[in-house]
């Protein structure tokens, strides 16, 4: 059974769900295609009524939506509540701004008239991950539904209750059947969807291996795709940073969502002058985290999403140490039921250590000391990933200069990389391509059609 709710706090199976049959999948695709023909003809205002209603429902029943996030993937309940509210904000944002983002662009040709119109592509297919069960869906569905597309979504097999709840949300908000469809499908059926001529675009958030398969299949079918993949974000601390405030952000950057975040701080690159005091205080803060029930407000260390995720992370840490890394803190599972891992810090990670190139998806921090800002930038850029990064310094202009030299899709100064409705999100290199959120995200799956009016007697 590939769709199962298993509570990572105690390992208990909550509920299992059957995969769609091929006939159920065909019915879903056909319904989406039928819906598109009417949905695309609604005005922005008419679509916004439904999208705004969905946001209102999420806010009105925030705890009801947050609870299955915690029960299915172990997120601290307060963070689950925050995710629900962020998801509602994203829906509201596009309900309010989509029409302006997609308004006609009038050009100024040498003669006659020209305008670029934005029109929806049709049925879109999204493959989404477990780590932010609603946020990932909201940032795919919000802009594309407002643009006039309809969406099919294959969510992670570990969060089926969240996936079903989000589909029901749209029906309750008044969306017609087929506007938003959750698919409980197999890997082979994923390829079937991508191959289907009625599907006109593909978006994936996940790992590089999955992206290669999905992007290759989309390319074979000449379909637009976006890929939002992992990261190994650099958290750079310069010698003039405010150490105490920076440490507060370092903990947040590393431990938000138990480190299971593509834009989590993963490589802590500290200039020599602050390296020892930073490491000492960072270690003490990590040691102070308290494991427990993620539904309990006093818990500060929740479980990882699954037992499989925990085993993979432990294997990575053991491999790093076997290749010469120093284990400063943690490195083992917590001696209690559930998929808990000790907060972990690794140092002395040489370039030939596999850990130097890997993404650690959990409460594991890689610590590097460097002599100066040039060395920090070089190390930050020496990565197969390029999603986010951050620079901490009291000299803002210096921070901007350094940010311009870092090879990523996003760089924050004096704040960890994070997300908001009005900020574009995406990366380069093995972190993928395309952008989500802001005015950029809604442009990915629309046809930029040129309409040209030329004088009939104009020369060829």
Convert the pLDDT of each residue in 297-352 to its tens digit.
Answer: 999 999 999 999 999 999 999 999 999 999 999 999 999 999 999 999 999 999 99
Q: What secondary structure letter does DSSP report for 258?
A: G
* Strand bridging mode 385-386 / 428-429: antiparallel
CA 391-354-326 angle, 5° bins:
75
- d(CA 226, CA 445) in angstroms, rounded, equals 9
Instruction: Assess contact for 310 and 337: CB atoms under 8 A.
Output: no
Q: How many CA atoms lie within 13 A of 148 on its CB side?
A: 19
Length of the chain: 460
As a 3-state breakdown, the chain gives helix, strand, coil percent values, each rounded to 5, of 45, 20, 35
The sign of the torsion formed by the CA atoms of 256, 261, 263, 266 equals positive
Residue with tokens 């001696």: 335
Q: Where are the domains of the chain?
A: 3-229+431-451, 233-413
CA distance 26 to 32: 10
Domain 233-413: give its CATH architecture.
Answer: 3-Layer(aba) Sandwich (3.40)
Residue 398: the pLDDT is 98
In what helix (H) or strand (E) does residue 364 lie, and over which residues does it extend? strand 364-370
Dist CA 16 CA 6 (whole Å): 9
Do residues 148 and 39 make contact, with C-beta atoms less than 8 angstroms apart?
Answer: yes
396 contacts 195 by C-beta, under 8 angstroms: no
Bridge-based pairing of strands 233-237 and 123-127 is unpaired
Residues labelled as active-site residues: 228, 262
pLDDT in tens, 200-226: 999 999 999 999 999 999 999 999 999
In this predicted structure, what is the pLDDT of residue 1?
Answer: 54
pLDDT at 241 over 90: yes
**Integer Cα distance of 373 and 221 in angstroms:** 45
What local confidence, expressed as pLDDT, does residue 457 receive?
87
DSSP letters along 265-293, please? Answer: EEEEEEEHHHHHHHHHHHHHHHHT--B--
Q: Which helix (H) or strand (E) holds 84?
A: helix 77-101
In CATH, what class is 3-229+431-451? alpha beta
Structure confidence at residue 313 (pLDDT): 98
Task: Specify whether the CB–CB gap between 294 and 303 falls below 8 A.
Answer: yes
Confidence of residue 268 (pLDDT cuts 50, 70, 90): very high
Phi, psi at 13, each rounded to 5°: -75, 120
H helix or E strand, kind and range, residue 23: helix 22-39
Section 150-178 average pLDDT: 98
State whether the Cα torsion 311-313-318-322 is positive or negative: positive
Q: CA 54, CA 175: separation in Å to the nearest integer?
A: 9
When pLDDT is averaged across residues 391-396 and rounded to a whole number, the result is 98
pLDDT of residue 130: 97
Asked if residue 241 lies in contact with residue 274, where contact means CB atoms within 8 angstroms, the answer is yes
Six token digits for residue 331: 């490195």
Residue 237 CA to residue 258 CA, distance in Å, equals 22
Identify the DSSP state of 436: B
For the chain, the average pLDDT equals 97
pLDDT band at 140 (very low <50, low <70, confident <90, very high): very high
The answer to whether 78 and 66 have CB atoms below 8 angstroms apart is: no
- pLDDT(460) > 80: no
pLDDT of residue 349: 98
pLDDT attached to residue 58: 98
Q: What is the pLDDT at residue 304?
A: 98
Q: Is the pLDDT of residue 22 over 70?
A: yes
pLDDT of residue 201: 98
pLDDT band with cut points at 50, 70 and 90 for residue 391: very high
Q: How confident is the model at residue 428 (pLDDT cuts 50, 70, 90)?
A: very high
Asked if 77 and 137 touch (Cβ cutoff 8 Å), the reply is: no
Where do the H-state alpha helices sit in 135-236? 135-147, 160-173, 187-195, 208-220
pLDDT confidence tier of residue 435, bands split at 50, 70 and 90: very high
- Give the number of other Cβ atoms within 10 Å of residue 232's Cβ: 26
At 459, is the pLDDT very low, low, confident or very high (cuts 50, 70, 90)?
A: confident
């Amino acid at each position: 059974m590939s769709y199962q709710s298993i509570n990572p706090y105690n390992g208990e199976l909550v509920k299992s769900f059957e995969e769609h049959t091929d006939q159920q999948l065909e019915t879903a695709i056909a319904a989406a295609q039928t819906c598109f023909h009417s949905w695309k003809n609604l005005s922005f205002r008419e679509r916004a009524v439904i999208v705004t209603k969905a946001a209102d429902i999420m806010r009105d029943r925030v705890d009801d939506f947050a609870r299955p996030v915690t029960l299915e993937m172990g997120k601290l309940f307060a963070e689950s509540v925050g995710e629900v509210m962020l998801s509602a904000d994203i829906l509201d944002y596009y309900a309010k701004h989509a029409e302006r983002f997609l308004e006609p662009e009038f050009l100024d040709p040498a003669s006659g008239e020209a305008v670029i119109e934005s029109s929806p592509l049709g049925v879109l297919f999204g493959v989404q991950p477990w780590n932010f069960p609603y946020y990932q869906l909201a940032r795919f569905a919000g802009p594309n539904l407002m643009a006039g597309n309809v969406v099919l979504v294959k969510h992670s097999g570990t969060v089926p209750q969240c996936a079903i709840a989000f589909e029901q949300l749209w029906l309750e908000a008044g969306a017609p059947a087929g506007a938003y469809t959750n698919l409980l499908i197999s890997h082979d059926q994923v390829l079937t969807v991508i191959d289907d001529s009625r599907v006109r675009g593909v978006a994936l958030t996940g790992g590089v291996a999955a992206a290669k398969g999905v992007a290759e299949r989309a390319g074979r079918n000449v379909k637009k795709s976006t890929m939002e993949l992992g990261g190994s974000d650099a958290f750079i601390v310069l010698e003039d940073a405010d150490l105490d405030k920076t440490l507060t952000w370092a903990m947040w950057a590393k431990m938000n969502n138990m480190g299971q975040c593509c834009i989590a701080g993963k490589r802590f690159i500290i200039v020599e002058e602050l390296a020892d005091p930073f490491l000492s205080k960072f270690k003490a803060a990590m040691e102070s985290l308290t494991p427990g029930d993620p539904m309990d407000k006093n818990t500060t260390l929740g479980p990882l999403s699954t037992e499989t995720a925990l085993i993979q992370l432990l294997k990575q840490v053991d491999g790093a140490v076997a290749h010469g890394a120093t284990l400063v803190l943690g490195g083992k599972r917590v001696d209690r039921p559930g998929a808990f891992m000790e907060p972990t810090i690794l140092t002395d990670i040489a370039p030939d250590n596999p850990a130097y190139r890997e993404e650690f998806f959990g409460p594991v921090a890689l610590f590097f000391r460097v002599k100066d800002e040039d060395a920090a930038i070089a190390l930050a850029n020496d990565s197969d990933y390029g999603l986010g990064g951050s620079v901490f310094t009291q000299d803002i202009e210096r921070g901007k200069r350094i940010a311009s030299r870092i090879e990523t899709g996003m760089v924050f100064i004096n704040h960890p990389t994070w997300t908001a409705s009005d900020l574009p999100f995406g990366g380069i290199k093995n972190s993928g391509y395309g952008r989500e959120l802001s005015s950029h995200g809604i442009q990915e799956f629309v046809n930029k059609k040129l309409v040209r009016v030329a004088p009939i007697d104009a020369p060829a």
